[in-house]
Chain A
């Protein structure tokens, strides 16, 4: 009897691992997970905490080491270099060929580089992989002044990391305000102020021109477009990521920026799927982008694909957009869409408490008053409730009225709901009365879920 070829998953990030786990829940097929970065699945989102000393490496691993064997998930620490869809085989860098029954591409991202002079010098790197973290750690003791280039979430994390280890950090942001392609101006400015308050040298509207090398081939300074020369021993390049698909480019698997998939996460080749950061939706679900390089997307695609693989063909239909981040000490959450640059139909309501670094921005339709989305800073909101509000297309006044139900701050935290409602009423000439928190309402919302 010939042994059945396994389902091979390339990439042991959140997307690949979620697929494997959910297949295993329903089926006994052999599964092989190949990844070069680390033997065991770890949480990429926790890289920063290892560098700051909050966690040790082992804490980033959501499953104990015996989990894999117990669940018969075979692990292989290798690099896949070729794929042959016709023969249903893959080739490893050590020359081995392996057959697969189905192939899942979950290869994640790699940091963007824009051809800056000096971008490959010693002391210049991105922050994506375990190796990046190890590199940074090995350089760390020789870093006094650091530059971070690129004003997104990984950039601000890297700035916080270096700052926590006592480095003097200069943070170069191309836009006029931090993350202003995602955050509305007032939200973004709030974060600018917060970054500055930590003693970070924040340089807005500043492009990197080149990185200057010392006699040992290590970065010693950078030059900005304003002609400013800033000495440094480290340059972090965090100007976004792109799908990690270079080795797929020369196969028959169709790709553009990412690997092209239909709504079933199928590529153009039979029995080959792509999920997570590396996948590009040919026809994105309404309101979603074709490539979403976030943790949650990888997880959701993994859940969906597992269903398809065990025989219940399921389309990828992410629910309402949500996200979260931590910007130094300000934790933020997003439910639905709040446009950075709202069009003429979208109105924003913004409330802020400067002293406490708290704020919310609510987006709603100007004419129908339908609630569109919310950004919160320093305040926590209930995901379930906002998910339902979005599904039911509730109005902004419904949200304002039920702020107490929505709130998810820890017990005893000061409530700002009254202030928020008052400000809303004043600005919109309304007379909304805040409702008391009701367990029944919160709870019925939860039950209607399943």
Chain B
């Protein structure tokens, strides 16, 4: 069994290495026809840029994306500087340089990767999936009978901030940086999922399609790991199935299929303010211009945030969203599960959490207020602050750096819910409802707690569950996402997530049950 697992790990690493190697491979050649097409599609009016490319890029063959991208970006920036100086605003190319370079590269790819997309898919995704399954499936036997399966977690270098943990950290951060800021370097990755994208939406894959697809694959594989690890716990199994379903169907398939029918790309479960650009003018315009269906989305989006979300939190707690539906939560609960114990439990971290997460909520609401004001009044700035600038800052700091690079990249260092705990404005909103008006609580079973600390250690949100349980108090915390793992790892069956009457929900007894102290 162990050999099979090692073999599987080897295959996985091979797939992963090939996937990484893909970045450096491939050839790019911009033919005059392709270039002409690009000029018309993008409406490029800069003769400087066109001349530069014709001289330096067109009809030349480049190996690897770096040189190619450098040339394109240099040409773009050179042309833009001159046009700006001359105030020839219509000739300026406003796209972000690397996104622009991505679009050119996507058209210009030639050679074996582009010609054998399927084969390269198999060599990367295929080997990766096969290897992981070979590594994960034998756990049914190696982990022994169903039960709490946390042996060796703090001895393993990947799950205890060891060498492997830091390696995964660097890998994930690099991945997110490429994805968000250097899409032109990962064009090759998008090629290998082109065939799948074609089938779904009819379009070639963008880096976002690649990300969505990879997300689903990773979640699926890691969900299998969850099924095996928590096979003694039905709550975990159902919850994992639910997040997986919502990710694949709602976040991936439905939006792509909508695009096929020329409807706006929309993830029906992604609620504002997590979906922070829902009220951005480009989105509102696109929704309004796509007729009845667009309007339906608009109404749905508003009702989801204002009615469905709080009502569901009232009945079931924030968990219905964060641990059963949400995509970020879904990744955290599958890919992130091996790292859940790395969250910081100190009171200091709790303070920081409250400042940050509510700060982001306020920021997102302010930004949206500005956006809507601008949208209806036509003014581009409010109180002298440019709406666009606010949106850019939010998108960069919160949308990309916080949610992506830190949120997922830092799994192996700070645990799997960094974004959900410190950054997600929706979580902050759900949390307020959960704290003040919800039937949800984690019930502490009388005096049975032995203060062992497993619950606190494995709480991904850094809640010191034991601090409540050992006092015999129920746990009601705005940050609790109801993953149910405290209850699953408690060796004494002290904790139960449940929805019950509001009265006495946070009741704190003078002493845990067992003592008769009424002298």
Contact = CB atoms under 8 A, between A and B. Distances in A.
Interface of A: 14, 43, 45-46, 49, 52-56, 59-62, 64, 164, 197-198, 295-296, 299-300, 303-304, 307, 312-315, 317-320, 322, 324, 326, 328-329, 331, 333, 380, 382-384, 387, 408-414, 439, 442-443, 446-447, 449-450
For the complex of A and B, list the 5 residue pairs with the smallest distance between their C-beta atoms, beginning with the closest. Answer: A383-B446, A329-B147, A380-B493, A46-B452, A53-B152
B349 to A, nearest CB: 11
B492 A43 contact: no
Interface in B467-519: 467, 470, 484, 487-489, 491-493, 496-498, 500-501, 503-504, 507, 509-517, 519
B351 to A, nearest CB: 13
Contact of A303 (B235, B346, B517): B517
B1 interface: no
Given A59-B456, A62-B467, A408-B493, A387 B450 contact: no
B146 interface: yes
Interface of B: 144-148, 150-156, 232-235, 238, 346-347, 443, 445-448, 450-454, 456-457, 466-467, 470, 484, 487-489, 491-493, 496-498, 500-501, 503-504, 507, 509-517, 519
A322 B456 contact: no
Nearest to A41: B451
A322 B516 contact: no
A318 B514 contact: yes
A387 to B, nearest CB: 6
B457 A59 contact: yes
Contacts of B346: 64
Contacts of A324: 448, 450, 492-493
Given A53-B152, A59-B453, A317-B516, A411 B446 contact: no
A318 B151 contact: no
B514 A64 contact: no
B514 A296 contact: yes
B162 to A, nearest CB: 12
A54 B156 CA distance: 11
A414 B234 CA distance: 8
Nearest to B466: A62
A424 to B, nearest CB: 22
B496 A383 contact: no
B519 A333 contact: no
A275 to B, nearest CB: 12
B514 A408 contact: no
Nearest to B238: A412
Given A322-B514, A380-B445, 4 more contacts: A49-B150, A296-B447, A333-B493, A411-B235
A214 to B, nearest CB: 28
Nearest to A66: B347
A317 B515 CA distance: 7
Contacts of B446: 322, 382-384, 387
Contacts of B152: 52-53, 164
A383 B447 contact: yes
